[in-house]
Structure 1
Amino acid sequence: MPEHPEAARGHAAREAILAQLASVQDPELRRGLVELGMISRVDVQPGGPAVVGLKLTIEACPKRGDLVAAVREASLRVVEDVDVEVTVMTPAERRDLVEQVRGAERDIPFARPESLTRVVAVASGKGGVGKSTVTANLALAAAARGLRVGVIDADIYGFSIPPLLGVTEGPTKVEDLMLPPVVHGISVMSIGMFVGSDQPISWRGPMLHRALEQFLKDTHFGDLDVLLLDLPPGTGDVPITVAQLLPGSGVLVVTTPQESAAAVAERSGALAGQTGQRVLGVVENMSWLEAGGQRLEPFGSGGGEAVARRLTERLAESHPEGVQLLARLPLADEVRDLPATGAHAPEFEALAERLFGAPRGLSGRPLGLTPA
């Protein structure tokens, strides 16, 4: 018996709405709502608004308003009116979702042999050289190139990434999985989201190791092109832990032009050589400032070149191509202030190009498709 014309139109509209909703992603999970089972129903009846059921992961979902708006906008491309009915997943449904996004194995996805994520640990020998501002600007420059970027503030004692990037929210917890806040298109995780900005962290080595391991194992960053880790200064517990947990990571060494800073920065690169990591290059920060139409060098010159030269000699066996000075960056307010607005200092565009090149294609990227 042929389908009634009204029923046929309703079925076609339902399928069209689902097709539109398939492109709507959860901003924290970075996966499609339909794929994740967050669309519970789509009903289209003659003479009334369409009804779309949206199932949130938790009651206090911080992205509730954004999700409702996105579902409404997608549905209105097909029908003239829509009601979005919001419910919350049951504990069993949340557990199924966590297993779906994390997989059966509770490991570090970026350490898997098949991972295509480029992991870069931003290191320095001493504090005060602008390592965190380099990390923040570089993350935004990479995101501006169309790359999917995550940042881990691995400087547990001196966390500073949240204010630098303008992060005001903490992670969302779904069962035992943490969903990092996304700001300016970048997923960010920091211990600063769990403690007050003026609260000291007094942890010893095992606690530091566990915190970083939890950030890597229990945080869902999704399929990233680039993961940046802002390391604490020096060659202590955290850089060694990163080398152990992420053996395929590369190290970007940050220094200033001063010889005293350069000598200490060299040690960070040397540690990377000892732990089997790649030294990706050297960045000289605070190289100059513009004043009265002149370029001044308040901290001297040559520190970056000296670090690159000495690391080239020191790591000749593991780095036969040498270690390059990748950038000389200015001492300027914009380097410090722009990231919180979602912009980056222009000098970081060339650095992002040298480190990351073009966005990767679809090869190896999960497409979220299920065979019929």
Structure 2
Amino acid sequence: MRATLAGLRDPVSGRDIVSAGMVGGVSVRDGMVQVEIAVPRERAREMEPLRIAVETAAKKVPGVISATAVLTAHRATPPEGANRAGPPPGSPPGPHAHGERPRPAMLLQDVGAVIAVASGKGGVGKSTTAVNLAVALAQKGLRVGLLDADIYGPSLPQMLGAHEKPQAQGNRIIPISRWGLKAMSIGFLVDQETPMIWRGPMVMGALEQMMSQVEWGTLDVMVVDMPPGTGDTQLTMSQRVALRGAVIVSTPQDVALLDARRGIRMFEKVNVPVLGLVENMSYFCCPNCNHRSEIFGHGGARAEAERLGVEFLGELPLTLSIREHSDEGRPVVLAAPESAEAAAYRAIADRIWDKAGARPAGSGPRIVVE
């Protein structure tokens, strides 16, 4: 792989990027390639064409399924004549004193706030919640992206009523536009009935490509529909994206709350703020007589939020209209904006936006400097 990359040159020095010391870690596993390119932080923007060229060259190597190149930042080279003798005696060791690699640059740098919608277990309505919250945020006039991070069980194409294939523009993928959102899911790229029998590294590679190679543009907020559980995807997102916070979705019964508790603790361990807990399927409303039945119990998520010291964001009902509109590809906040269900989603979206806020979108790359 390094021999292939040696055919690419630094546009400033003219040296090949390998001998110039620009190629950091190279990971090759199960046909998935990841390459780190070390550049001074002030040159990060101008080096984007080189990053793309590295990916293109790596993909041409036999056996490579996909390739991802990331820019890692290091401090600018001292000018000629500057003291390069190192730190004064007695100074603490620098970040690379023990051979540590520079951390890769964070992804989704032009998104004001990235918000993960997660759950400890499947079947609690997390994806339905994520889609309706994203549409509700778009209805506020915000520029919104929606990323389906569930590689094994993508549901966004069905819930958005979008089954077309994304278009490519050069080396970039154009996200699907629907209901005021820019959306991307592995479900847009593969046949609906194709099982994703992939190993973990392939899944993580696909996830990183949907963040780094999709033309998201400048966004105010991105809602990420996370897969259930506390596995590789959650860890990758916390390491590669500056998550503004996580929203945990649960149903009221104890078995679901137990898993929600694990999800909250997991985000705390990776230093991602938990914006709050949502109780989905909080009660059932009969479509004929409007009688309310608390078939899964009620109030469990509110009590759990109080116990764990996180905010309770609200409760969402189990109604026929939410299910019907989701199956039809028209989220209830769009299809029935005057309904009580839509009002509940909008109230939660408003509170999430109040808490998450946003830096000015497009205010420049957040290059990690060691």
* Cα distance in 2 between the residues matched to 1:249 and 1:132: 19
- Is 1:327 the counterpart of 2:324? The answer is no
* 1:116–1:232 distance in 2 versus 1, CA, 3 Å: closer
* Cα distance in 2 between the residues matched to 1:284 and 1:355: 14
> Gapped runs of 5+ residues in structure 2?
1-44, 53-69, 72-103, 334-341, 364-370
* Cα distance in 2 between the residues matched to 1:110 and 1:189: 21
Aligned-partner SS, 1:341? coil
Give the corresponding residue for 1:131: 126
Aligned-partner SS, 2:255? helix
* Cα distance in 2 between the residues matched to 1:247 and 1:363: 14
* Cα distance in 2 between the residues matched to 1:237 and 1:355: 25
Answer yes or no: is the 8 Å Cα contact 2:220–2:361 preserved in 1.
no
Give the corresponding residue for 1:151: 146
Among all aligned residue pairs of Structure 1 and Structure 2, give the percentage whose two residues are the same amino acid.
40
* 1:110–1:162 distance in 2 versus 1, CA, 3 Å: farther
Give the corresponding residue for 1:268: 263
* Cα distance in 2 between the residues matched to 1:216 and 1:113: 6
Length-normalised TM-score, structure 1: 0.63
Answer yes or no: is the 8 Å Cα contact 2:117–2:248 preserved in 1.
yes
Aligned-partner SS, 2:275? strand
> Gapped runs of 5+ residues in structure 1?
1-98, 313-322, 367-372
* 1:286–1:103 distance in 2 versus 1, CA, 3 Å: farther
Superposed displacement of residue 230, structure 1 = 0.8
- Is 1:336 the counterpart of 2:327? The answer is no
* 1:359–1:337 distance in 2 versus 1, CA, 3 Å: farther
Superposed displacement of residue 234, structure 1 = 0.6
Superposed displacement of residue 207, structure 1 = 1.1
* Cα distance in 2 between the residues matched to 1:265 and 1:180: 31
Answer yes or no: is the 8 Å Cα contact 2:112–2:361 preserved in 1.
no
* Cα distance in 2 between the residues matched to 1:300 and 1:136: 25
Superposed displacement of residue 152, structure 1 = 0.8
4+ runs of 1 displaced by more than 6 Å? 102-106, 358-362
* Cα distance in 1 between the residues matched to 2:267 and 2:277: 13
- Is 1:304 the counterpart of 2:301? The answer is yes
* 1:324–1:299 distance in 2 versus 1, CA, 3 Å: same
Answer yes or no: is the 8 Å Cα contact 2:252–2:279 preserved in 1.
yes
* Cα distance in 2 between the residues matched to 1:189 and 1:127: 20
* Cα distance in 1 between the residues matched to 2:296 and 2:361: 45
Give the corresponding residue for 2:339: none
Deviations 1:243-294 (A, max 9, x none): 1111334111000010110011110111000111010100000001223343
- Structure ranking higher on relative contact order (CA contacts 8 Å, 6+ apart): 2
Give the corresponding residue for 1:284: 279
The one of 193, 214, 225 aligned to 2:188: 193
- Which amino acid in 1 is paired with 2:227? P
Give the corresponding residue for 2:136: 141
Superposed displacement of residue 168, structure 1 = 2.1
* Cα distance in 2 between the residues matched to 1:209 and 1:249: 21
Superposed displacement of residue 110, structure 1 = 10
Answer yes or no: is the 8 Å Cα contact 1:287–1:299 preserved in 2.
yes
- Which amino acid in 2 is paired with 1:227? M
Size of the aligned set, in residue pairs, is: 258
- Is 1:177 the counterpart of 2:172? The answer is yes
Aligned-partner SS, 1:261? helix
Answer yes or no: is the 8 Å Cα contact 1:110–1:117 preserved in 2.
no
CA RMSD after TM alignment: 2.9
Give the corresponding residue for 1:245: 240
Superposed displacement of residue 172, structure 1 = 1.1
1:1-372 matched pairs, under 5 angstroms = 111=106, 115=110, 117-291=112-286, 292-312=289-309, 323-338=310-325, 340-341=329-330, 343-344=332-333, 345-357=342-354, 363=360, 365=362
* 1:158–1:254 distance in 2 versus 1, CA, 3 Å: same
* 1:104–1:308 distance in 2 versus 1, CA, 3 Å: farther
- Which amino acid in 1 is paired with 2:322? V
Superposed displacement of residue 105, structure 1 = 6.4
Answer yes or no: is the 8 Å Cα contact 2:112–2:360 preserved in 1.
no
* 1:222–1:336 distance in 2 versus 1, CA, 3 Å: farther
Aligned-partner SS, 2:184? strand
Answer yes or no: is the 8 Å Cα contact 2:119–2:126 preserved in 1.
yes
Structure 1 stretch displaced more, 239-248 or 146-155: 239-248
Bigger helix share: 1
Superposed displacement of residue 334, structure 1 = 2.5
Superposed displacement of residue 336, structure 1 = 2.9
* Cα distance in 2 between the residues matched to 1:172 and 1:353: 32
* Cα distance in 2 between the residues matched to 1:124 and 1:176: 33
Structure of larger gyration radius:
1
* Cα distance in 2 between the residues matched to 1:190 and 1:207: 15
- Which amino acid in 2 is paired with 1:221? W
